[in-house]
C-alpha cells in the first residue's frame, strides 16, 4: 500500500518476544526489566493471522526480531507459516546468534533464506561488557560460519558503532567483509528508550567511519544487497562481501522508509520514533474480523509520519524500548 507520502509500505518487522538472553547496555536495563504478561503476548497463530492480513494490503517482506527471537518457543513454526503465505516473498531474522547453532537447520528447513546477526565487538572482554553476559564472541562467530555454510544468503552482520567502545575495531570488521561473503553494516548509535549508555559524543558519523576504512580498503559504491534496508553499500576491492552504513541520524532515510512494526503485545507502529500505536491485539481478541483488522493496518499506514524526530530526543510519551519495538 502507498502511504500519504508516496512510500510503498511493503515491509513488516515483527517482534516476537520482549525477552532476551543478553542485556546489551544500549538496549535493555540490567535488572528490573518489565516484560509484558504471558497472556498479553500474541500467540504464534495470532501473529501469523495478523501477518496474513498485512500481506493482503501489500506487505511482502517480514523480519522476525525481538527481544531475542530465538528465545521464543517454536519460532521456527512462525517462520514456516509466514513463508507459506503466497504473497510474502521474504522472511528474514535478526538475532544475537547465541542460540542460532542449535536452531539453524530447523530454521533453514522452515524456509529461512537469510539472517542478520548483531555483533558489536570481536573481543571477548568487550562482548561480556556490552552484553552484560558471560557469553563469548566465538558463539556468534560459529553461528555466522554455520549460516554461511548452510547457504543462507545474504548473511549480514549489524555493528552498532559506539565511540570509545568499538570504534577502533572497524578495520577488523571490515576484514571479515573482505575475507568472507559477509555484509557488515555499521549502524549509528541511536538515542532510543531509556537512553541507556547514550551520549551524543558516542555517535560516530558515516563520513568518519568511511574515512577510516578507506585508509586500508578501496571502497566502491555497490549495488544494494538483497533486502529492504536503508544501508548504503560499498564493495571492497578484492574482497568477498561488502560494507554498509545505516545512518538514521546523520542521514535519515525516512523518504524511503517502507516499514511497519508489530510488537509481541500486538501494537502496530508506523515509525520507530513515533509513539502513536494501534492496538491490533485488543481488536483481534474482541472478535474483529479480517476486514476490521485490515482497516487498522490501513489507518496506521495513513498516519505514518513523514519523518522521525530523532534529533529532538526520544520523548517522555514514548513508552516503549528497543527490545520491545524490535530494533
Ligand atoms: N536480539 C536481536 C539482536 O540483537 O539482533 C534482535 C533485536 S535487537 C533490538 C535489533 C537490533 O537493534 C540489534 O542489531 C541492535 O544492535 C539494535 N539496537 C538496539 N538498540 C540500539 C540503539 N540504541 N542504537 C542502534 N541500534 C540499536
Ligand atoms: Fe537483546 Fe538484541 Fe537488545 Fe542485545 S540488542 S539486549 S541481544 S534484544
Report the share of the chain in percent with pLDDT over 90. Answer: 74
Question: Tens digit of pLDDT for each residue in 19-34?
Answer: 999 999 999 888 878 7
Q: Answer yes or no: is pLDDT of 311 > 90.
A: no
At 194 the pLDDT is 66
Give the torsion sign (CA, 224, 225, 226, 227): negative
Measured from the CA of 192, which atom of ligand 1 is nearest? 23
Q: Answer yes or no: is pLDDT of 256 > 90.
A: no
User: Helix or strand or coil: residue 295?
Assistant: helix
At 310 the pLDDT is 65
Question: Tens digit of pLDDT for each residue in 58-79?
Answer: 999 999 999 999 999 999 999 9
Specify the higher pLDDT residue, 109 or 311: 109
Mean pLDDT, rounded, for 249-276: 87
Where helices occur in 239-302 by DSSP H, the ranges are 280-285, 290-302
**pTM of the predicted model, to two decimals?**
0.94
Average confidence score pLDDT of the chain: 91
Q: How far apart are CA 57 and CA 85, in angstroms?
A: 13
Q: Answer yes or no: is pLDDT of 319 > 70.
A: no
At 289 the pLDDT is 97
Span from the CA of 21 to the centroid of ligand 2 (angstroms): 8
Cβ of 166 below 6 Å from ligand 1: no
Cβ of 323 below 6 Å from ligand 1: yes
- Please name which ligand lies nearest the alpha carbon of 94: 1
**Could you tell me the three cell numbers for 266?**
500486538
* Angle in degrees, 0-180, between the axes of helices 137-149 and 100-109, rounded to the nearest 10: 20
Mean pLDDT, rounded, for 141-166: 97
Question: Tens digit of pLDDT for each residue in 209-219?
Answer: 999 999 999 99
Distance between start and end Cα atoms, the chain: 23
At 30 the pLDDT is 87
Neighbour tally for 207: CB within 10 Å: 12
Span from the CA of 36 to the centroid of ligand 2 (angstroms): 16
Cβ of 266 below 6 Å from ligand 1: no
At 61 the pLDDT is 96
H or E segment at 144?
helix 137-149
Answer for the pair 152, 115: CB distance below 8 angstroms, yes or no.
yes
At 327 the pLDDT is 67
Q: Answer yes or no: is pLDDT of 316 > 60.
A: no
Question: Tens digit of pLDDT for each residue in 171-217?
Answer: 999 999 999 999 999 998 888 766 678 888 999 988 899 999 999 99
* Ligand 2 pocket test target in 13, 22, 197, 324 with most atoms within 8 Å of CB: 22
Amino acid at each position: 500500500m502507498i502511504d500519504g507520502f508516496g512510500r510503498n509500505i511493503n515491509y513488516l518487522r515483527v517482534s516476537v518476544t520482549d525477552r532476551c538472553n543478553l542485556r546489551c547496555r544500549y538496549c535493555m536495563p540490567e535488572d528490573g526489566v518489565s516484560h509484558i504478561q504471558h497472556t498479553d503476548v500474541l500467540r504464534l497463530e495470532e501473529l501469523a493471522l495478523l501477518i496474513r492480513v498485512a500481506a493482503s494490503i501489500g506487505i511482502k517482506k517480514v523480519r522476525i526480531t525481538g527481544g531475542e527471537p530465538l528465545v521464543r518457543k517454536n519460532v521456527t513454526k512462525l517462520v514456516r507459516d509466514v513463508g507459506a503465505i503466497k504473497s510474502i516473498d521474504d522472511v528474514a531474522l535478526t538475532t544475537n546468534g547465541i542460540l542460532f547453532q542449535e536452531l539453524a537447520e530447523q530454521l533453514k528447513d522452515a524456509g529461512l533464506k537469510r539472517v542478520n546477526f548483531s555483533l558489536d565487538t570481536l573481543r571477548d572482554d568487550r562482548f561480556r561488557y556490552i552484553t552484560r553476559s558471560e557469553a563469548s564472541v566465538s558463539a556468534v562467530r560459529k553461528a555466522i560460519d554455520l549460516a554461511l555454510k548452510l547457504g543462507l544468503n545474504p548473511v549480514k552482520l549489524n555493528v552498532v558503532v559506539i565511540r570509545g567502545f568499538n570504534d577502533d575495531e572497524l578495520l577488523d570488521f571490515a576484514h571479515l567483509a573482505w575475507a568472507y561473503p559477509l555484509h557488515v553494516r555499521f549502524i549509528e548509535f541511536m538515542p532510543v528508550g531509556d537512553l541507556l549508555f547514550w551520549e551524543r559524543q558516542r555517535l560516530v558519523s558515516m563520513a568518519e567511519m568511511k574515512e577510516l576504512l578507506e585508509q586500508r580498503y578501496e571502497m566502491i559504491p555497490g549495488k544494494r544487497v538483497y533486502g529492504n534496508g536503508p544501508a548504503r553499500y560499498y564493495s571492497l576491492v578484492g574482497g568477498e562481501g561488502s560494507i554498509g552504513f545505516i545512518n538514521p541520524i546523520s542521514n535519515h532515510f525516512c523518504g524511503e522508509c517502507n516499514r511497519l512494526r508489530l510488537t509481541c503485545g500486538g501494537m502496530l507502529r508506523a515509525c520507530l520514533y513515533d509513539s502513536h500505536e494501534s492496538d491490533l491485539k485488543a481488536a483481534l481478541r474482541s472478535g474483529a474480523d479480517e476486514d476490521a483488522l485490515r482497516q487498522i493496518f490501513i489507518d496506521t499506514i495513513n498516519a505514518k509520519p513523514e519523518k522521525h524526530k530523532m534529533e529532538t530526543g526520544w520523548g517522555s510519551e514514548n513508552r516503549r524500548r528497543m527490545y520491545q519495538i524490535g530494533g
